[in-house]
């Protein structure tokens, strides 16, 4: 059996942005490449086992994305090593990935830059502590960039299976 293509999203606490991105991309890829991928997320300052925020769950639910089963986890070297593609929410998150494994540079991108490998660029702002409207805006922003880059992500998934 072929391994799945693993996509890792990275944010700070792993209770807002990265779980929303994880759920959104999972929903998109399930239509495009069912069974060929795994989407996970982690936080650079995350505790273990916390659910997404209530507003992250609600903002996702509006778009028929269910993230209620998500539990937070800290970013680790093993997650970085296992991932085929890493999408960071901010340049600082990207730096933290590369601090754990400098060899991950060729598979690590800023979400808003992908597929451009430039390490600097625009961040997805953290909605933590803000109202539902801000979470909705964040989900839409993430969804917009995932929609723009879906073709490139699918291409990377296909490349992994073509190599095997």
Of the listed 11, 116, 131, 162, which one is catalytic?
11
What is the β-pairing status of strands 85-88 and 108-110? parallel
**Residue 74 pairs with which residues in a beta bridge?**
43
**E strand or H helix at 43, and its extent?**
strand 37-43
Q: Omega before 131 cis (within 30°)?
A: no
Please indicate whether residue 82 is annotated as part of the active site: no
Please indicate whether residue 11 is annotated as part of the active site: yes
Please indicate whether residue 16 is annotated as part of the active site: no
**Residue 38 pairs with which residues in a beta bridge?**
6
Of the listed 17, 81, 131, 162, which one is catalytic?
17
d(CA 34, CA 32): 6
Of the listed 126, 134, 158, 162, which one is catalytic?
126
Known catalytic residues?
11, 17, 126
């Amino acid at each position: 059996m072929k391994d799945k293509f693993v996509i890792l999203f990275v944010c700070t606490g792993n209770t807002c942005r990265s779980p929303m991105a994880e759920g959104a991309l999972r929903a998109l890829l399930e239509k495009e490449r069912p069974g060929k991928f795994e989407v996970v997320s982690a936080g650079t300052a995350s505790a273990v086992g916390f659910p997404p925020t209530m507003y992250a769950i609600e903002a996702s639910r509006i778009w028929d994305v269910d993230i209620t089963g998500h539990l937070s986890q800290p970013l680790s070297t093993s997650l970085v090593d296992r991932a085929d593609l890493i999408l960071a929410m901010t340049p600082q998150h990207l730096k933290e990935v590369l601090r754990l494994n400098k060899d991950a540079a060729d598979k690590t991108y800023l979400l808003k830059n992908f597929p451009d490998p430039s390490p600097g660029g625009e961040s997805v702002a953290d909605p933590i502590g803000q109202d539902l409207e801000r979470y909705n805006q964040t989900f839409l922003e993430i969804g917009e960039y995932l929609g723009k880059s879906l073709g490139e992500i699918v291409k990377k998934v296909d490349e992994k299976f073509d190599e095997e």
